[in-house]
Amino acid sequence: MNIDHLPEVYSRFRAAFPDVVGAVDAVGAASDTAGPLSEKERRLVKLGIAVGAQAPGAVRSNVRRAIAAGATKAEILHVVALGAATVGLSATVAAYGWVMEVLETTE
């Protein structure tokens, strides 16, 4: 796991509850291999889920991971735009802001 962008509170939680975090990491690994999606496709799906959940940290994390998996800026922004009809314009604009924070620092 790349820890460069982990919030301090998350790092402290990982240290305080290693068994819990290990179990969650194992579920994530199992779900990654449960079907035919590529790493890039999984990251884009997870980004969409994070947008719908209005989870800023997860949005930023999944943008970074999607880029690392080969996703383009256009693909990432398309995922965000798809949220408008599902979670509403305000939530989508908020997610767009979180995505752009990452994209602007990786260009």
pLDDT tens digit sequence for 29-44: 999 999 999 999 999 9
Look up residue 48 and give its amino acid: G
Q: Flag whether pLDDT at 5 surpasses 80.
A: no
Helix (H, G, I), strand (E, B) or coil at 69: coil
pLDDT digits (tens, 9 = 90+) for 46-67: 999 999 999 999 999 999 999 9
Contacts 24+ apart (CB under 8 A), 14-19: none
Distance of CA 67 to the CA centre of its chain: 10
Please give the torsion angle defined by the CA atoms of residues 81, 44, 24 and 53, in that order, rounded to the nearest 10 degrees: 10
pLDDT at 107: 72
pLDDT bracket for residue 17 (50, 70, 90):
very high
Look up residue 70 and give its DSSP letter.
T
Q: What is the pTM of this model?
A: 0.89
